Structure 1
């Protein structure tokens, strides 16, 4: 197969391109965009082109499928330019693909094509995509779908066109004003008591587009998880103050702020959440199913934004959810985490996350808290090496770090002590014997109890990892632990503990 992708430099393109390139049945991918591509690959060819250019037909020639992602989402002031790119550009993509002999066109639509009005039950594709004439994004998504439907009726059987309607996409490659608002310190929504979102991780979105690229699908397909997260629950997960506001005054204020260039969006984006959809049709047609629940995806969104999860029932616990939350750290250290076990332990006031490495043999057990400012994934290679010496390893995310609950970057002696006691108790029950707790790195200076906690700004070792705090506050809670500087030292300490036992 040969596939062309418009909008290849967008967040959607960044998430979808790697999946297409990893497919051995796809021989080549053309990435079209107005900016240079952010990635390179032997099968990837970059094409600088506007989707309104009639020469795009020649680019599509020889392609089996076109994935159309190019769309103006972030608001610009001249809506005539927005409509021209979205509508005339999309029509040009469809018409040019047909003339070039393309078999399939997969269009990135949106559940916003249904319009802003909420429904009492999840809607399926039988509901008409009415859009909204006063909201450019809702209007343009619906109009592109209408043109695609009109084209297929005028040219039956000539080309397969599918429109995938994703719910709210989150993940390490997605950053926008909406995510900033959803994870801010204060949230305000019309109808806050009924507003909700279906959060979908970018991996699940990319999987659906990949499947659609290789199958003869026709018409609209909702693309979202089975569940949804009310905005008040989303606020409780992260300690956000949530307010319900009258819709018309909120729209007027947003329009004024946009006009004065105080905000990047106008009242066209002020809505009572989003329509909740049923994605059964896509699942039955392609076998697609989301790997994360809407709640797990919401937790990942909050964590990647550098915010804390404050409730024990909000933190990810399933392996796939934990690994996706720490994906930027895994990429940085070059470890995929497939052989580790994630455990969430309830502690007073929250939950502590453990990364467990089973040494198989009876070589003793060591508990290692991640250094202040880091989380367990940055010690996974150390744990893996210890396992080769037959040592069981339990890595601990300190409170306020990694996948543990607590205010981001705060590691105070009391909560740290409770976390380590819980980790040691787990290690004792899981592996038997007496576990030894050590810390990797130089010894910490002793901290006198009557001195206040130290707060300082730090530069994260991996700026792409939202789980790493930019500021830490601690009071020497790890000072009493034995400090080790190498795997050999840790092995010797565990061996000595076994002899003493």
Structure 2
């Protein structure tokens, strides 16, 4: 059978690809995503790929038409796509998460697909005043202070309408608990804790006491177990809703035991909520207080139906799943897709099909010959690393600012490549025994931020000219970056390095320049048009 996975590059989607590949009934897998993964890497190499936007910046009829074409010949569609950030842009989240689901099921009907399996959530359920486990019949009215819960409820209503209008399609809803795995460590760090959280220290030191909101109870499930449930649902074609989680409930004592010391303090929920809300407003914490509300109020789920009808059993315990996540966060683990990209620079892969340590010509560290003037090369590479730091900051802000435009996929993919290249260059400096001039990098990043204070004709709204100027700056920066790869290729033999790596990076820079040309073309068409300035207003004077 042929299965299409929409949203196949995130935490669950990555695991689902591997789970489908293990099912003998599945003979063909198609991955659909806005941003393409490294298609030669596992498990992404197991699928054919289609790049499309289900709702963020695409006309609804165009999105449905593109999805219908992607679904042609499929026996089942698994819909996982869900936008978590930026949570401050509710119109964008609602459009992608709720209307995007509507587009997917319309395309399922138009393409004649007989089964659609949709990722709902424990967040769709109403609060439970009692501690007993709740079956799938528990009301799906959600938790109103959580935008995630509100949108999951709206998604459930879309599915209700679809089932009523198109009864011949088998609609399956999986409602998982919190989904963790080690390779999602970096992703969860970015989406929920934010870049200021020092999670890398968890590998060497755990907090002496674990502060938790009073009454917290968590059910979790490993991504591999969730993926197995999605694969089973797609193959078996069972209608209705299924709770997916480990029956074990983790409270304060259990969570404190997982962090190795067992010591915890329970704080009033109102105090914790106020701290999370303040941290989110300050930009220190990525998740808003609604996530805490959902964690505190979501009911415990009963998984009897999934066990009976899907023949599903979790293979990982709740405790082991949380331990794996903590280890993955400390290590900055990830996978070869943009959402799942790693944090730790030694785990980041270059945007070419070889590992980041393959620049060395031998088995050990590269060795520069006596013909190389060490001091001058150190200064040259350090200056390029400074430029790379500023460029990474700029492209990151561009991807964030223009997430609601058709060029987001290109900007986001270029951002991942530039960050990987910057990390590679930093590692190369270390491998060559050279010193990074961190004060220069800090100055460059500050300079990049000050450079955002441009007179683009707007103060309180995002100027339609901003993208045009930013694209022009990034095009120049990418060509400048190409120079360092050409220089390293020319001197690779004297440095004990593999020149082919730098030839490929030089070619990659040209490809980035071509994609930035496409961004610039879009910006040229919209820069001076009030009716095409973008769907979101945002200040141009940014600190």
TM-score interval for Structure 1 and Structure 2 normalised by the shorter chain: 0.5 to 0.7
Query: If each structure's helix is expressed as a fraction of its own residues, which one has the higher value?
Result: 2
- Which secondary structure does the structure 2 equivalent of 1:200 belong to? strand
Q: How far off its partner does 1:187 sit?
A: 4.5
**Closer/same/farther in 2, CA of residues 179 and 165 from structure 1, 3 Å limit:** farther
Instruction: Name the residue aligned to 2:277.
Output: 255
Structure 1 residue 143 corresponds to structure 2 residue 154: yes
Instruction: Name the residue aligned to 1:313.
Output: none
Q: How far off its partner does 1:114 sit?
A: 0.9
CA distance in 2, matches of 1:269, 1:187: 19
**Closer/same/farther in 2, CA of residues 240 and 85 from structure 1, 3 Å limit:** farther
Structure 1 residue 203 corresponds to structure 2 residue 227: no
CA distance in 2, matches of 1:267, 1:145: 23
CA distance in 2, matches of 1:155, 1:249: 47
Detail structure 1 runs of 4+ shifted over 6 Å in the superposition: 179-184
Q: What count of residue pairs does the alignment treat as equivalent?
A: 306
Query: If each structure's strand is expressed as a fraction of its own residues, which one has the higher value?
Result: 1
Tell me if structure 1 keeps the 8 A contact 2:258–2:322.
no
CA distance in 2, matches of 1:141, 1:259: 24
Instruction: Name the residue aligned to 1:418.
Output: none
Structure 1 residue 224 corresponds to structure 2 residue 245: yes
* Structure index of larger Rg: 1
Instruction: Name the residue aligned to 1:5.
Output: 5
- Which secondary structure does the structure 1 equivalent of 2:151 belong to? helix
**Closer/same/farther in 2, CA of residues 72 and 42 from structure 1, 3 Å limit:** closer
CA distance in 2, matches of 1:270, 1:302: 19
**Closer/same/farther in 2, CA of residues 257 and 222 from structure 1, 3 Å limit:** same
Tell me if structure 2 keeps the 8 A contact 1:228–1:295.
no
Q: How far off its partner does 1:236 sit?
A: 2.7
CA distance in 1, matches of 2:153, 2:210: 28
User: Which of 41, 53, 62 lines up with 1:50 in the alignment?
Assistant: 53
Deviations 1:324-369 (A, max 9, x none): xxxxxxxx9xxxxxxxxxxxxxxxxxxxxxxxxxxxxxxxxxxxxx
Q: Structure 2 unaligned segments of length 5 or more: list them.
A: 56-62, 332-346, 348-426, 428-543
Structure 1 residue 14 corresponds to structure 2 residue 14: yes
Structure 1 residue 73 corresponds to structure 2 residue 94: no
Structure 1 residue 121 corresponds to structure 2 residue 132: yes
Instruction: Name the residue aligned to 1:27.
Output: 27
- Which secondary structure does the structure 2 equivalent of 1:244 belong to? strand
User: Which of 258, 267, 272 lines up with 2:289 in the alignment?
Assistant: 267
CA distance in 2, matches of 1:257, 1:120: 30
CA distance in 2, matches of 1:25, 1:232: 43
CA distance in 1, matches of 2:53, 2:129: 35
Tell me if structure 2 keeps the 8 A contact 1:169–1:200.
yes
* TM-score of the two chains, using structure 2 as the length reference: 0.52
**Closer/same/farther in 2, CA of residues 43 and 290 from structure 1, 3 Å limit:** closer
Higher relative contact order (CA 8 A, sep 6+): 2
**Closer/same/farther in 2, CA of residues 299 and 172 from structure 1, 3 Å limit:** closer
Tell me if structure 1 keeps the 8 A contact 2:117–2:233.
yes
Tell me if structure 2 keeps the 8 A contact 1:119–1:276.
no
CA distance in 2, matches of 1:288, 1:179: 31
Worse overlay, 234-243 or 214-223: 234-243
Q: How far off its partner does 1:211 sit?
A: 0.3
**Closer/same/farther in 2, CA of residues 254 and 306 from structure 1, 3 Å limit:** closer
- Which secondary structure does the structure 2 equivalent of 1:222 belong to? strand
Q: Structure 1 unaligned segments of length 5 or more: list them.
A: 308-331, 333-458, 460-501
Q: Equivalent residues in 2 for 1:59-458 (5 A)? A: 59-115=70-126, 117=128, 119-156=130-167, 158-175=168-185, 176-177=188-189, 185=207, 187-191=210-214, 194-238=215-259, 239=261, 242-271=264-293, 272-273=295-296, 274-306=298-330
Q: How far off its partner does 1:188 sit?
A: 4.0
Q: How far off its partner does 1:153 sit?
A: 2.1
Deviations 1:29-55 (A, max 9, x none): 111111112344665211111112122
Tell me if structure 2 keeps the 8 A contact 1:208–1:288.
yes
Tell me if structure 1 keeps the 8 A contact 2:173–2:241.
yes
CA distance in 2, matches of 1:247, 1:234: 17
Q: How far off its partner does 1:117 sit?
A: 5.0
Worse overlay, 98-107 or 239-248: 239-248
* TM-score of the two chains, using structure 1 as the length reference: 0.57
Tell me if structure 2 keeps the 8 A contact 1:4–1:32.
yes
**Closer/same/farther in 2, CA of residues 214 and 202 from structure 1, 3 Å limit:** same
Root-mean-square deviation (CA, aligned residues, Å) is 2.6
**Closer/same/farther in 2, CA of residues 188 and 94 from structure 1, 3 Å limit:** farther
Deviations 1:134-173 (A, max 9, x none): 31111111211122122212322x1001110111222122
Q: How far off its partner does 1:72 sit?
A: 1.3
